[in-house]
Amino acid sequence: MITIELLLSCCLPALLYAIESLAPQASDINKLNNCINTAVAKIFCVSFGVNVDYIRQMTRLTSLRVLISERRSRFLSKLCQSSLFRMLMPLFYDRVF
């Protein structure tokens, strides 16, 4: 379980660094999910598929699609609350339209 905690605390933040500011395609998210699946399969010496999915559920390694969505929501919420954003957005909007 220590290895899973290291995966959660070290590897996931590195994999997901600044991803909330991007719009990753489904194929990109699948590649990142495959990295996690490979790590889980090697840690627990199991084959891919149902075994890895079950272990990920039990160890709080939820789908990266969900994690990215949550991170993006928090990022956009903080961005909208930013005074700089509120000041610059009308200027940007006027220049674009």
* Whole-number pLDDT of residue 90: 82
Count of Cβ atoms closer than 10 Å to residue 68 Cβ: 19
pLDDT tens-digit profile of 35-73? 999 999 999 999 888 899 999 999 988 899 999 999 999
* Whole-number pLDDT of residue 97: 65
**Domain residue ranges of the chain, discontinuous segments joined by +:** 2-96
Average pLDDT estimate for 80-96: 81
Alpha carbons within 13 A on the beta-carbon side of 80? 6
pLDDT surpasses 80 at 13: yes
* Whole-number pLDDT of residue 96: 67
3 state DSSP class of 47: coil
* Whole-number pLDDT of residue 47: 87
